[in-house]
Chains A and B, each alone.
Chain A
Amino acid sequence: MITLDHLTKRYGATTAVDDLTLQIQPGRVTGFLGPNGAGKSTTMRMILGLDRPTSGTALIDGRPYVALRRPLREVGALLDANAVHPGRQLRTHLVAMARSNSIPVARVDEVLERVGLAGVARRRAGNLSLGMSQRLGIAGVLLGDPQVMLFDEPVNGLDPDGVMWIRKLLRSLAAEGRTVLVSSHLMSEMQQTADHLIVMGRGQLLADDSMASFVAGHGSLEEAYFRLTAGSVEYTGRSEARGDRAGTEVF
């Protein structure tokens, strides 16, 4: 379980994450939605101890990430699939991760097999397609067989087979009782994958609700999402940005 308590991150005058308090429960897929700049990635980085909160806390089963010993065995995270040294063979990349947490090297070959990269294990990470990079990132998440998993945009660059594979993978991981948090901009995909939703806009929590009740009364997740986040989009096109006032003046 992930517990956020008044979690806040400010960069100068900008508040990227504003007083976020919520729990992400095990045993279900929690979808993490919000427009670009809503604070999803910053929240994930704070959960992982990469970014320091301005105030508040992010705990994993009651402990901050930095207090975890052998953290890969407790939390797996895919933040940026390209965050791999491009010159390193992908198997070696995983071996280095495994060594750091005293995970047997045999486990590396297991996860490579599981994500379908066993055949290209010796390839350099810089020579992978985006879809393969995503699979490598997912292999890294699975490596320590952790109970808590975070995925930031895992379906980016995957082909339809890959998208369906991720959906099944996430659902089976949650069914095993793990905590699974996944962000995505693909609404129809999210609707098929997530059981629960957290929606952010401009750093604030807009919704923390089950999929069924969030979508209820709307045609689809996409429609419900647009309704909720209409006022929270960071960048809007020219027509919207001018707003109603400009419109009434001209016409």
Chain B
Amino acid sequence: MLSSFLAVVSSEWTKLWSVRSTWWCLIGAVALMTLYSVPLGFDAAEPNPALSHADQLLHVEEVATAGLLFTQFALIALALLTVTSEYASGSIRTTLQCEPRRGRVLVAKLVVVEVVALVSGGLLAFLGAGLGYLTAGGYGVFDLSAVAEVAGRVSVYMGAVVALAVGLAVGLRSTAGALVVAFLALFLLPMVLIMSGMDLMTEVSYYLPGTAGTEYLGIGIATLFGLGDDLPYDGTGGLGLLAGWAVVTLLAGYLVFRRRDA
């Protein structure tokens, strides 16, 4: 039973690395992280007479987390495409002929995507921090243990986010649809709701996956707006809430996947 499941995982692994979109998404992630961290580093390298040397220091682990706000969508696209590209081409039928038990197909896809997210999330954090340090001149502070701790957090965060993405993908089947919902839930909607200035909207935004997840990352969207103290949870709670969203989305996606004709 385990061996037949591993066979399906192996098949998904082969499929993931045999399409160009996977590589483009990874290249895109590296490019986005670079585009974010390099200017930030150069900016920090400019001496600012209004600030003391200590205040001007750039702790480069913060570069990695901030850069992730955008970079994450490249990995989200990679995760979605493992499902939605099969619906677009019709090859989902081939997949289900190979393994008709749909729960197993879903878990196998999830396993493959998780491996990529956990590994590349950590590596991207190191990339962002490293580039920030290299470009920040004398102001960069690269504390290995701090960077490693953040890399671990980024890795876990990406793991939760791609699970959410796979759930959206099996539920919605369309690349554009799933990507738009992911962008709304993880980024745009928390921002817009908080910027509305209305208490109810702000309260709602606290419970969205984007607000919760970024709080765990340490660059909370609510905190950016000065509302960090109002949040009903801390960083760990934020991870819990994000994971809850991921689990619920996956279960909902699974129900759709199981019931609907392929």
Contacts and interface: CB of A to CB of B under 8 A. Distances in A.
Given A79-B93, A99-B11, A72 B98 contact: yes
Nearest to B102: A66
Contacts of A87: 19-21
B100 A66 contact: yes
16 contacts: A45-B262, A50-B96, A50-B261, A71-B100, A80-B90, A80-B93, A83-B89, A83-B93, A84-B89, A86-B89, A92-B15, A93-B18, A93-B94, A99-B11, A100-B98, A101-B98
A88 B4 contact: no
A102 B4 CA distance: 8
Contacts, number: 91
Interface residues of B, number: 30
Interface of A: 45, 48-52, 65-66, 68-72, 75, 77, 79-80, 82-89, 92-93, 95-97, 99-102, 140
Nearest to A101: B98
B89 A100 contact: no
5 closest pairs, A vs B, by CB? Answer: A83-B90, A100-B11, A100-B98, A51-B261, A92-B18
Q: Which of B14, B19, B93, B97 has the most A CB atoms < 10 Å from its CB?
A: B97
A96 B18 contact: yes
B18 A102 contact: no
Given A83-B90, A140-B94, 8 more contacts: A50-B262, A66-B100, A71-B98, A71-B100, A83-B89, A97-B11, A97-B94, A97-B98
Contacts of A71: 97-100
B100 A65 contact: yes
A102 B97 contact: no
A152 B56 CA distance: 69
Given A50-B262, A70-B4, A88 B18 contact: yes
B202 to A, nearest CB: 43
Interface in B66-96: 85-86, 89-91, 93-96
Contacts of B261: 45, 50-52
Contacts of B21: 87
B59 to A, nearest CB: 41
A246 B96 CA distance: 49
